[in-house]
Amino acid sequence: MPSPTVLTFLALSGGQGRTTVTYLLGLQAASHGMPTLLIDADPQHSLTDFLRVSIPSDQPTLLEVLRGDISAENAFYPVPTPFQSTDLHRPNLFLIPCDRALDKAQRFLAQLSTNANLLHQRLKPLYPLFDFIAIDTPAYKSHLLLTALGAADRILIPAEVAAKGIKSLSESLAFLDECRSLNLTQAQLLGILPFRAQWHRTNPTAETKANLDLIQQIAPNQVLPPILESEFYRQALNQATTLAELAPQHSSLEQPIDDLLNRLFP
């Protein structure tokens, strides 16, 4: 059975860019013709909201997939195009959504001795359908995060280029080491993605440079090209569009996302 690349995001603090990068990476991969599945494993359901996937209350979400109420083959949905588009759905892009009810999965997962492997098993029927699967996760240690890590073969740690992000990075790396020591995941670390780096013209600000140096010290040789602070990212999420569609003159902001794809699919 062919296996897609499965990427899980890990950051033990809010505001680190997990959802933003999941969104941008998913749209970019789909635009390159890769059948792409995004999974919203965060009960805050921000990814589901940003992608504007609206699910009736009687339709399945990630919760039902985890509980085994329904196969994953019946729980993913096409992602709609922006409102101004004449096409109904984005080609190659699908989502397993969630809502606040996903919190109920915590108790269910806690009762399983093999919970870290559960999502991996549930997703296997989808493997022939997709080249790339990306999983957005909660910003705290939880059984949901564990099963998302257990499903991955690659892990990406985004970290805001600020004191909060550096603390999150240290805690996330320590948690990943702990999970590996317990054989809860064997996924490779794709890298550390600095988020909201502040640049002045062609150079980082003094504060950004100092924080990037600290990130490099924490994770030597694992730091990826940063995502810059820009209002265009927020606008792209709010308008359910890509940076290239929103502001073609600023398409260079997508370069870190292209770099990620090149690392995932060399």
DSSP string, 80-102: EPPTT-SSSEEEEEEEE---GGG
| pLDDT score for 238 | 86
pTM of the complete model? 0.95
| pLDDT score for 1 | 59
Tens of pLDDT, residue by residue over 75-99, are 999 999 875 555 678 899 999 999 9
| pLDDT score for 245 | 83
| pLDDT score for 236 | 86
Domains and CATH numbers, the chain: 5-261 (3.40.50.300)
Q: Give the amino acid at 137.
A: T
Tens of pLDDT, residue by residue over 152-182, are 999 999 999 999 999 999 999 999 999 999 9
- Do the bridges between strand 89-96 and strand 77-80 make them parallel or antiparallel, or are there none, so unpaired? antiparallel
Question: Which residues in the chain show pLDDT less than 50?
Answer: none
CB 39 within 8 A of CB 62: yes
| pLDDT score for 85 | 54
| pLDDT score for 199 | 87
**What sign has the CA pseudo-torsion 118, 2, 70, 37?**
positive
| pLDDT score for 143 | 94
